[in-house]
Amino acid sequence: SQTIHQWPATLVQPVGSPLSLECTVEGTSNPNLYWYRQAAGRGLQLLFYSVGIGQISSEVPQNLSASRPQDRQFILSSKKLLLSDSGFYLCAFNRDRPTNEQFFGPGTRLTVL
């Protein structure tokens, strides 16, 4: 079966510190991968997506970057966190075809102080 993992589950970081969130998918190959951010009480904002190893598309200019070093690994990073980076970060993948629904990981709740 196909599963998606994210860690850590929660994170509290000071302003200006680096960030690395990891997402891995099991049970599928060459998935499309996505990073979303959900601000409190708001919908999901697509940050990055990837259709293959090393292929990253950014949807919004920001303080974050993404990398896909392996087929089923997607990493969200920042060199220096801002207060506005606080939020709930969700990783997702498409199963089979891009037109299909997305399956989401459990999320990481990031608080920047």
Partner 1 sequence: AQKVTQAQTEISVVEKEDVTLDCVYETRDTTYYLFWYKQPPSGELVFLIRRNSFDEQNEISGRYSWNFQKSTSSFNFTITASQVVDSAVYFCALSDGNAGKSTFGDGTTLTVKP
Q: Does 49 bind partner 1 (CB under 8 A)?
A: yes
Q: How far is CA 35 from CA 29, 113, in A?
A: 18, 22
Phi-psi group of 63: left, alpha or beta (phi > 0 → left; psi -120 to 50 → alpha; rest → beta): alpha
Rg over CA atoms, the chain: 13
Q: Which of 24, 28, 32, 65 binds partner 1 (CB under 8 A)?
A: 32
Instruction: Compare residues 22 and 88 and give the one whose CB is closer to partner 1.
Output: 88
Phi, psi angles (nearest 5°) of residue 74: -135, 125
Q: Which of 59, 63, 80, 84 binds partner 1 (CB under 8 A)?
A: 59
Q: Does 98 bind partner 1 (CB under 8 A)?
A: yes
Residues that bind partner 1 (CB under 8 A): 32, 34, 36, 41-46, 49, 51, 57, 59, 88, 90, 92, 94, 97-107, 109
